[in-house]
Amino acid sequence: MKKLSIKIYILILALTSSCAFFELDNYDVPSETIRGEVVDVATGEPILTDQGSEGIRVRLTELSWGENPTWNPDFFAMPDGTFQNTRLFKGTYNVQIDGPFIPLVREDERGVPIANESKTLDIHGVQDVRFEVQPFLKVEWVGEPEVINGRVRAQVRVTRGVSTDEFQSKIQPMGGYSSSFQNVTDVRLFVSYSSSVGYRARDERWSNMIEFSGSAFNAQLGQIITIESTGTIPEGRVVFVRAAARINYDTPRGSGIRRYNYNEAKQLMVL
């Protein structure tokens, strides 16, 4: 009988603890929203880039919980430079973005702040935010890409989105500066069945890349560059194409990720 009483007591204790456990987790689901856009400060045009970790990274740091805040999980913008997160708690957040543009938050080698163009927002309901940035490069279509014998032939023009002098004036104070940072390393033509065509969504059979060493590309800045896809795309298929270019500089600093600037995607029928 004594053993039975002990078992009943343990069962009651377990049930009570279980109820308390579920009560602790009985909070409202986060439902506040931040919506953002990233545009060229000079033109107001959206910053077109990749989708995923090679694109625009968004980092939110909630400041409502004391002096030692930690950031929320990073997320990434869409290829058109817009971003959205609909699962946030109400609170005050610092919003920082990194992408193929002059870093908004810059420090010197000692960690002393040089510039901070991040934004601090009180997020309650739907909060819109706009970042105006200086893209490293601008990639434009010249005419329309066309399909010839199962291959895409495209012409593009690549120019700098920020002058060499201004790039140096903002990056050099961060330390470890090299003139090679501004070198254009490659121009790519991405081809895919996916409308989100890019580095992540590319078909290796047809996508192509032209590489440049050192400052060799400088002579082609502003000039027409012709690039063709590889292989042969089957007839009767619809494909999407985008061109991209990047410089020899990683963002955020030390990440090793050299991000591409893109042009807009085009849809083609292979006849």
* The total number of structural domains that make up the chain: 2
Are residue 144 and residue 98 in the same domain, yes or no?
no
pLDDT in tens, 173-227: 999 999 999 999 999 999 999 999 999 999 999 999 999 999 999 999 999 999 9
Are residue 152 and residue 92 in the same domain, yes or no?
no
50, part of any domain: yes
259, part of any domain: yes
Six token digits for residue 209:
């890349």
Domain boundary among 113, 133, 153: 133
Are residue 110 and residue 218 in the same domain, yes or no?
no
Closest Cα partner for 141 from 49, 263, 270, 269?
263
pLDDT of residue 201: 93
Domain boundary among 133, 162, 196: 133
Six token digits for residue 90:
């109400």
pLDDT of residue 260: 98
CATH number for 253: 2.60.40.2060
Q: Are 231 and 202 within 8 A, CB to CB? A: no
Residues 116 and 21: their CA atoms lie apart, in Å, by 42
The 3-state secondary structure of the chain reads CHHHHHHHHHHHHHHHHHHHHHHHCCCCCCCEEEEEEEEECCCCCECCCCCCCCCCEEEEEECCCCCCCCECCCEECCCCCEEEEEEECCEEEEEEEECCECCCEEECCCCCEEEECCEEEEECCEEEEEEEECECEEEEECCCCEEECCEEEEEEEEEECCCHHHHHHHHHHHCCCCHHHHCEEEEEEEEECCCCCCCCCCCCCCCEEEECCCCHHHHHCCCEEEEECCCCCCCCCEEEEEEEEEECCCCCCCCCCCCCEECCCEEEECC
What is the residue range of 55's domain? 32-133
Q: What is the mean pLDDT of the chain?
A: 91
Are residue 53 and residue 153 in the same domain, yes or no?
no
Are residue 204 and residue 112 in the same domain, yes or no?
no
Are residue 146 and residue 107 in the same domain, yes or no?
no
Are residue 196 and residue 225 in the same domain, yes or no?
yes
CATH number for 60: 2.60.40.1120
Domain boundary among 133, 157, 176: 133
Q: How confident is the model at residue 9 (pLDDT cuts 50, 70, 90)?
A: very low
pLDDT in tens, 81-111: 999 999 999 999 999 999 999 999 999 999 9
pLDDT of residue 164: 97
Six token digits for residue 61:
């740091």
Q: How confident is the model at residue 13 (pLDDT cuts 50, 70, 90)?
A: very low
88, part of any domain: yes
Are residue 173 and residue 145 in the same domain, yes or no?
yes
**pLDDT above 70 for 3:** no
